[in-house]
């Protein structure tokens, strides 16, 4: 494999890693107003859906519980959201989709945790891959195996369909790839790390690893958000992924 194609092979592999652990992010994106607005729309959609789930009052908190629910295409094995200072009026407005994200600033704090089963995550990722058609279909297949603290990804990648590939005009068959990746919080940033990887049986060099991680990271930078927020834990096990975090106040 020549050096140009070798670099593009790793760009394709990085896309696969990000697809599995980075929520579909293909490269580091600036925390600009558009991206933050997209986060707010997604968060509002989830909270509107949440108003229809079982809940109870515990002091000044409203506690919502989720068991095998589906929201935004994700099946949640189990979850809990604790909202401090949620008024009856705001809860009703959220339930009828009459509240905006700015209205959420009236609450004191929101804490959430969720357990996502490995099988459900595989189904979601396979569905996302299947949505791509024609030259947009970079991956023909992706097998995902959840381990303790990491994920193994393998399958076939169409290198000639990777954006920016200088050799895209050459006919190329799908190439086998394999990678072991993980997620971590480094300060205020959510980052992805590539533990080991190869494409067409070619191992990744330290230089390429540095180049690709610089392209991918950070997946998210909480310090750039206009209000306090944090992803506190991301635990990967053979059973799936468990995550917790908070919004507005810890």
Report how far apart, in Å, the C-alpha atoms of 94 and of each of 2, 181, 199 are: 56, 37, 47
pTM of the model: 0.79
**DSSP E strand stretches across the chain:** 55-58, 61-71, 74-84, 109-117, 139-146, 151-157, 175-186, 189-199, 202-203, 220-221, 229-237, 240-247
Domain layout of the chain by residue ranges: 3-247
Alpha-carbon distance of 151 to 182, in angstroms, equals 6
Per-residue pLDDT of the chain (250 residues; tens, 9 = 90+): 444 343 333 333 444 444 444 444 444 566 788 889 988 999 999 999 999 999 999 999 999 999 999 887 778 899 999 999 999 999 999 999 999 999 999 999 999 999 999 998 888 877 777 776 666 666 666 788 999 999 898 888 776 665 555 445 555 677 788 889 888 889 999 888 989 988 778 887 787 677 667 777 888 899 999 999 999 988 999 999 999 999 998 8
User: Which helix (H) or strand (E) element contains residue 102?
Assistant: helix 101-104
């Amino acid at each position: 494999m020549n050096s140009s194609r070798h670099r593009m092979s790793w760009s394709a592999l990085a896309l696969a890693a990000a697809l599995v652990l980075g929520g579909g992010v293909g490269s580091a994106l600036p925390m600009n107003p558009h991206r933050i607005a997209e986060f707010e729309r997604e968060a509002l959609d989830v909270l509107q859906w949440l108003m229809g789930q079982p809940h109870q009052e515990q002091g000044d908190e409203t506690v919502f519980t989720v068991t095998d629910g589906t929201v935004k295409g994700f099946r949640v094995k189990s979850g809990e959201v604790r909202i401090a200072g949620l008024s009856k009026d705001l809860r009703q407005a959220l339930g009828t989709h009459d509240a905006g994200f700015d209205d959420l600033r009236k609450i004191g704090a929101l804490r959430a945790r969720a357990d996502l089963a490995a099988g459900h995550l595989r189904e979601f990722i396979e569905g996302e891959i299947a949505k791509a058609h024609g030259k947009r279909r970079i991956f023909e297949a992706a097998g995902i195996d959840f381990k303790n603290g990491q994920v193994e990804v393998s399958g076939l990648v169409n290198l000639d369909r990777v954006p920016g590939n200088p050799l895209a005009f050459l006919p190329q068959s799908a190439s086998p790839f394999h990678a072991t990746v993980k997620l971590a919080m480094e300060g205020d940033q959510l980052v992805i790390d590539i533990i080991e990887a190869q494409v067409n049986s070619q191992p990744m060099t330290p230089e390429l690893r540095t180049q690709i991680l610089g392209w991918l990271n950070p997946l998210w930078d909480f310090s750039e958000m206009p209000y306090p927020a944090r992803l506190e834990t991301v635990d990967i096990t053979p059973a799936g992924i468990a995550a917790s975090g908070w919004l507005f106040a810890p």
